[in-house]
Amino acid sequence: MGASTSEAVSSRQASLGGVYAALLLQVMISAGTYLAGKRAMEELPPVTVVLWRFLLSATIFCLLLAFTPGPKLPPRSEWRRVLMLGLLAGPINQMLFFYGLSHSTAAHAALLYALTPLGVYLLSLARGHERASSRSTLGILTALAGVVVLLLGRGLASARGSLLGDLLILAAVSAWVVYTTEGKPFAAAYGPVRSTSWSMVAAALLLVPVTPFALAPTRTLSASSPALASIAYLAVLTSVVAYLIWYYALTKVSASRVAIFSNLQPAMTALAAWLVLGESLHWELAVGGGLVLAGVRLTQSAPPLAGPVPVEES
């Protein structure tokens, strides 16, 4: 009996290796989102950047749906949930995030987004999606402490961002917490491709009313190549690849275990700045990064917090 249990645990860990590798890729993509967003907004208003991002990504998702076996549209009973997830992902989360980022700093945004795992964990507990675990709680708080240490070393204390900008980013984080928590059962029921595609197309449709006022095609097409490349990065890598990975992971493990990986983003950004921009490395990276890794490890090694959500056959 003991051997079979050990083998089952080892088999589960091995099967989750691909999930964690995918989440690391998602972290690397997301780490560049702050930089791409800041660069695009040097030449274009936040609403224009967000609009182009979702219109382009929605086009890609429509193509994915066209070549994905199964239903192309969500069941009528799910339209309200699809619109809710689209509203959280697009008009609320991204509009608030980009407007907040335009008034704040990338360091402040990274710190506030580090609250995501704690928010997802608490909301999952409140909704009955997960059970309380002292190891998960300790892991989340340890990772959050690591992010604080890391960002203090990168000048968080001296980085000035307006209170309005930080409040807008905090509201965006809250929307992302709800999107992650409520998106898990939806992704488990319909699969990562369909669930992500439906919610992101819904996000683009909800942004259509502002298109005549914010699309600014002439101004956008006359922007510099780095600005256009930043929009392409946001549309293809962040909104398609990273979102698909996020929902894929949500079908495999609990929402809090997925969310904890977002705390690796500041460390990944610091390493990228060292490799690409030649910034120096400080002791805070080793200490903060170590705490984040320890927190992620603690959270992932906690006992399962929720049973699997049954997948609907389509």
| Type of residue numbered 157 | A
Whether residue 277 is contained in a domain is answered as: yes
Prediction pTM value: 0.79
Whether residue 235 is contained in a domain is answered as: yes
Going by the DSSP 8-state scheme, the letter that residue 168 receives in this structure is H
User: Is the pLDDT confidence value at 300 over 60?
Assistant: yes
Whether residue 314 is contained in a domain is answered as: no
Could you tell me the residue range of the domain that residue 94 belongs to? 18-301
Q: Write down the pLDDT at residue 158.
A: 56
Report the pLDDT averaged over residues 55-77.
Answer: 93
Name the more confident of 308 and 76.
76
Token output for 213: 């006022």
Long-range contacts of the stretch 50-53 (C-beta < 8 A, 24+): 50/90, 50/94, 50/95, 50/98, 50/207, 51/207, 51/210, 51/211, 51/214, 51/215, 52/215, 52/220, 52/231, 52/235, 53/94, 53/231, 53/234, 53/235, 53/238, 53/239
Whether residue 307 is contained in a domain is answered as: no
H helix or E strand, kind and range, residue 117: helix 116-127
* Residue 296 to residue 144: CA distance in whole angstroms: 10
Domain total of the chain: 1
The mean pLDDT value of the chain amounts to 81
Going by the DSSP 8-state scheme, the letter that residue 70 receives in this structure is S
- Nearest-5° angle of CA 102, CA 146, CA 36? 30
DSSP letter string, 267-307: HHHHHHHHHHS-PPP-HHHHHHHHHHHHHHHHHHHSPP-SP
Q: Convert the pLDDT of each residue in 210-229 to its tens digit.
A: 888 889 999 999 999 999 99
H helix or E strand, kind and range, residue 8: helix 2-40
Whether residue 254 is contained in a domain is answered as: yes
Q: Do the Cβ atoms of 49 and 98 come closer than 8 Å?
A: yes
Whether residue 150 is contained in a domain is answered as: yes
Whether residue 311 is contained in a domain is answered as: no
Q: Convert the pLDDT of each residue in 110-119 to its tens digit.
A: 777 778 888 8
Q: Write down the pLDDT at residue 178.
A: 92
User: Is the pLDDT confidence value at 269 over 50?
Assistant: yes
Of the candidates 80, 79, 109, which has an alpha carbon nearest to the alpha carbon of residue 94?
109
Q: Write down the pLDDT at residue 314.
A: 34
Query: How many CB atoms lie under 10 A from the CB of residue 83?
Result: 17
Confidence band (pLDDT; 50, 70, 90) for 5? very low
User: Is the pLDDT confidence value at 236 over 90?
Assistant: yes
Query: How many CB atoms lie under 10 A from the CB of residue 20?
Result: 17
User: Is the pLDDT confidence value at 309 over 60?
Assistant: no
Whether residue 313 is contained in a domain is answered as: no
Q: Convert the pLDDT of each residue in 154-213 to its tens digit.
A: 565 555 557 788 788 889 989 999 998 988 889 889 999 999 999 999 999 999 998 888
> 101 φ, ψ to 5°?
-65, -30
% of the chain residues with pLDDT over 90:
31
User: Is the pLDDT confidence value at 304 over 70?
Assistant: no
Flag the least confident range among 68-82, 253-267, 290-304: 290-304
Q: Convert the pLDDT of each residue in 14-34 to its tens digit.
A: 567 888 899 889 988 887 887
